[in-house]
Amino acid sequence: MAKEPRPIDQLTIWDDAKAMIRKARAEGIETVHERLDQQTPHCKFCELGTTCRNCTMGPCRVSEKKPRGVCGADADVIVARNFGRFVTGGAAGHSDHGRDLIEVLEAIVEGEAPDYKITEEGKLRTIAGEIGIKEAGRDIMDVAKDVMECFFADFGSRKKEVSFLSRVPQKRKDLWAKLGMTPRGVDREIAEMMHRTHMGCDNDAPNTLIHAARTALADGWGGSMIGTELSDVIFGTPKPRMSTANLGVIKEDQVNILVHGHNPVVSEQILAAARDPELLARAKELGASGINLAGLCCTGNELLMRQGIPMAGNHLMTELAIITGAVEAIVVDYQCIMPSLVQVAGCYHTKFIDTANKARFTGAIHFDFQPRTAMQQAKEIVSIAVEAFAERDAGRVEIPGEPIEIMTGFSNEAVIEALGGSLDPLIQAIVAGDIKGAVGIVGCNNPKIKHDSLNVGLAKELIKRDILVIATGCVTTAAGKAGLLVPGAIEMAGPGLKKVCGSLGIPPVLHYGSCVDNSRIMQLCAALANTLNVDISDLPVGASSPEWYSEKAAAIGLYAVASGIYTHLGHPPNILGSETVTNLAVSGLEDLVGATFFIEPDPVKTADLFEERINAKRKGLGLDK
């Protein structure tokens, strides 16, 4: 018998979401929430991480009664292997995204990408200097070629460490070297994890976890960092600007195109094509007053950060955005795109368009999007959306809520500029105790958790305590809708944060970009540590992913911990079936890397723990006087 659907008030904190879930139920459209009900209760073995499917002597499920799989692997080995592969999946995702940016740079250098260019010559030269490439007096295309070669090599097996380790404090690098955690090459660490977790290889749980950390570091200081930096080089370094968020950014009288996924390579071109006079004229002919682009998830974050394009929603809003009935096309690249979107789009006139050969969706309109033909393809895609406007059923349109103002665009470059050219004013504010410390709140939504309740709850709790919050990924929309991303949000902050942010005219929660842009936070922490001549683990900082769901979030969490940052998760990964692995994650890592994970579902208790930790770190730095 089908379960009763859960009451809508329990599912989300947002009125726009509630209105659309109600509409979905009235129209008989299934969403993530009903599917979660169908899937629960989940398999206990899988939840504990004690299922193994790594060979055909199994699958095996171990427990107290049957403690070893057919090959003899125990719960520790099985849990560590599963978690290792889980993290590796995440590192592969964000890093392969980074590789795609190198390929665009390669196409630019080879003259094969007429619609892309090097927008930030200065930043490219700075990066070249950081990774040991001579740039002074050289043509920018020659520099770009060398940077491109160097970054491709960061994915391979011929280096002792990935290039951006030049940013890491020496103490941390020495520690990684001692632990065998130095990331050598992105693809190398990923492949080695797959090797280690084959039957009969790495059968020592702590050893497997060390390599999981190394793989995560290859993402955070390798693939993801390359993705962020080259996106800035090609599309521009973000600068503070205003925009808006929530479903109200969808316009009843316009052709609405949602861009979804992660990579700006496609969506930047869609944005340019949406401004094409011929396409605009055609939209008007069909009765639309314009072409409106809005973002979802991290593709949304990329366009928001650099172009100020409004954000329609985060992960749990993606189905609901289509249910407004006012979306002509949803254009996706890859990652976090629920396959259900094809079915939801099919309930309306909405065209679902995929653009990557490595992320195709059965039932979608497919484009093999290539740098060489980018603008022409983008125009074709926008044209499909424009023509779909004629098919819209006005009777089924319901756009809930008014857009909420947000401030975005806080790259490190922009922050340093706002501070007058160096990090010193920030350090002084921390020393003075006006800013006690900082916590990055990052990552996803998960239908197991009331949508955005923890993302928003934790951010509010931290700023009250004069702890600066940096938001990325799907937390961005949550913070934005809660009114936390505008300068006026200082009214919700403690007195110190209110003073500092008030004088700079910035919000107490800073939008730092997409999930690959967590590398910006790593760079900031490294720069602070280097300025103070301490390790990252000495800083009064923390990281949190309250509503995480994805493999990528696990990789981010692990590279944060391995970099020395105390990291909160709102619920545990599937590791509780092994005491060895669990203890290592929540305490043993402290001795190794100077930081651990902690798991806490309550936002106030989480803020208490962060405050305690930050105070201890302040004391360690002699800032408690």
Q: Which of residues 272-291 bind ligand BF8 (CB under 6 A)?
A: none
55 binds, among ligand BF8, ligand SF4, none (CB under 5 to 8 A by kind): ligand SF4
Q: Which is nearer to ligand SF4, 68 or 275 (CB)?
A: 68
**Which residues are within 8 A (CB) of 419 and not within 5 positions of it... i.e. 6 or more apart?**
425, 426, 504
Question: What is the DSSP code (8-state) at residue 395?
Answer: G
Shortest Cβ 205–ligand SF4 spacing (Å): 13
User: What is the residue type of 336?
Assistant: C
* Binding of ligand BF8 by 473 (CB under 6 A): yes
CA torsion, ordered 270, 271, 275, 281, to nearest 10 deg? 50
471 binds, among ligand SF4, ligand BF8, none (CB under 5 to 8 A by kind): none
The count of other CB atoms within 10 Å of the CB of residue 407 is 21
Q: Which is nearer to ligand SF4, 77 or 304 (CB)?
A: 77
Whose CA is closest to 321, among 259, 405, 254, 378? 259
Whose CA is closest to 418, among 240, 243, 579? 240
Q: Which two tokens stand for residue 2?
A: 């089908």
Q: Which is nearer to ligand SF4, 65 or 625 (CB)?
A: 65
Q: Which is nearer to ligand BF8, 297 or 329 (CB)?
A: 297
Contact in structure between 228 and 513 (CB atoms under 8 Å): yes
Q: Which of residues 429-458 bind ligand BF8 (CB under 6 A)?
A: 443-444
Contact in structure between 562 and 209 (CB atoms under 8 Å): no
Interface with ligand BF8: number of residues (CB under 6 A): 15
Residues at the contact surface with ligand SF4, assessed by CB under 6 A: 52-55, 57-60, 69-71, 73, 78, 199
Calculate helix-pair angle for 453-464, 603-620, nearest 10 degrees.
40
Whose CA is closest to 50, among 584, 551, 577, 572? 577
211 binds, among ligand SF4, ligand BF8, none (CB under 5 to 8 A by kind): none
Q: Which is nearer to ligand BF8, 515 or 593 (CB)?
A: 515
Chain centroid offset of residue 453 CA: 18
336 binds, among ligand BF8, ligand SF4, none (CB under 5 to 8 A by kind): ligand BF8
Shortest Cβ 211–ligand BF8 spacing (Å): 22
**Which residues are within 8 A (CB) of 139 and not within 5 positions of it... i.e. 6 or more apart?**
none
Pairing type for strands 60-61 and 51-52 reads antiparallel
Distance CA 577, CA 579 (A): 7
* Binding of ligand BF8 by 553 (CB under 6 A): yes
54 binds, among ligand BF8, ligand SF4, none (CB under 5 to 8 A by kind): ligand SF4
Distance CA 511, CA 406 (A): 9
Distance CA 437, CA 623 (A): 11
Shortest Cβ 32–ligand BF8 spacing (Å): 12
Encode 189-215: b = buried (16+ Cβ within 10 Å), e = exposed: bbebbeebbebeebbebeebbbbbbbb
* Binding of ligand BF8 by 540 (CB under 6 A): no
Shortest Cβ 66–ligand SF4 spacing (Å): 11
Shortest Cβ 624–ligand BF8 spacing (Å): 35
Whose CA is closest to 83, among 39, 47, 44? 47
Q: Which two tokens stand for residue 116?
A: 């892309």
Q: Which is nearer to ligand BF8, 94 or 379 (CB)?
A: 94
**DSSP reduced 3-state for 12:** strand
Residue from 182, 550, 567, 578 touching ligand BF8 (CB under 6 A): that is 550
- Long-range contact pairs involving 196-203 (C-beta distance under 8 Å, separation at least 24): 196/81, 196/84, 197/54, 197/81, 197/84, 197/85, 198/54, 199/54, 199/55, 199/57, 199/71, 199/73, 200/71, 202/81, 203/73, 203/77
Query: Phi and psi (nearest 5°) for 468?
Result: -65, 140
Stretch of 23-31, 240-248, 409-417, 545-553 lying at the interface with ligand BF8 (CB under 6 A): 545-553
52 binds, among ligand BF8, ligand SF4, none (CB under 5 to 8 A by kind): ligand SF4
57 binds, among ligand BF8, ligand SF4, none (CB under 5 to 8 A by kind): ligand SF4
Shortest Cβ 196–ligand SF4 spacing (Å): 12
550 binds, among ligand SF4, ligand BF8, none (CB under 5 to 8 A by kind): ligand BF8
Q: Which is nearer to ligand BF8, 154 or 547 (CB)?
A: 547
Helix count and strand count (H, E) for the chain: 26, 16
Contact in structure between 464 and 494 (CB atoms under 8 Å): yes
User: What is the residue type of 282?
Assistant: R
440 binds, among ligand BF8, ligand SF4, none (CB under 5 to 8 A by kind): none
Q: Which is nearer to ligand SF4, 60 or 250 (CB)?
A: 60
Q: Which is nearer to ligand SF4, 61 or 99 (CB)?
A: 61
Q: Which is nearer to ligand BF8, 237 or 514 (CB)?
A: 514
CA torsion, ordered 347, 264, 551, 611, to nearest 10 deg? -110
* Binding of ligand BF8 by 298 (CB under 6 A): yes
Distance CA 31, CA 321 (A): 12
Whose CA is closest to 131, among 162, 85, 96? 162
474 binds, among ligand BF8, ligand SF4, none (CB under 5 to 8 A by kind): ligand BF8
Shortest Cβ 16–ligand BF8 spacing (Å): 17
60 binds, among ligand BF8, ligand SF4, none (CB under 5 to 8 A by kind): ligand SF4
Q: Which of residues 89-128 bind ligand BF8 (CB under 6 A)?
A: none
* Binding of ligand BF8 by 474 (CB under 6 A): yes
Distance CA 321, CA 299 (A): 15
443 binds, among ligand SF4, ligand BF8, none (CB under 5 to 8 A by kind): ligand BF8
Shortest Cβ 312–ligand BF8 spacing (Å): 13
* Binding of ligand BF8 by 336 (CB under 6 A): yes
59 binds, among ligand BF8, ligand SF4, none (CB under 5 to 8 A by kind): ligand SF4
* Binding of ligand BF8 by 564 (CB under 6 A): no
Shortest Cβ 552–ligand BF8 spacing (Å): 5
Stretch of 128-136, 480-488, 490-498, 550-558 lying at the interface with ligand BF8 (CB under 6 A): 550-558
Residue from 456, 515, 554, 607 touching ligand BF8 (CB under 6 A): that is 515
| Interface ranges with ligand BF8 (CB under 6 A) | 262, 297-298, 314-315, 336, 443-444, 473-474, 514-515, 550, 552-553
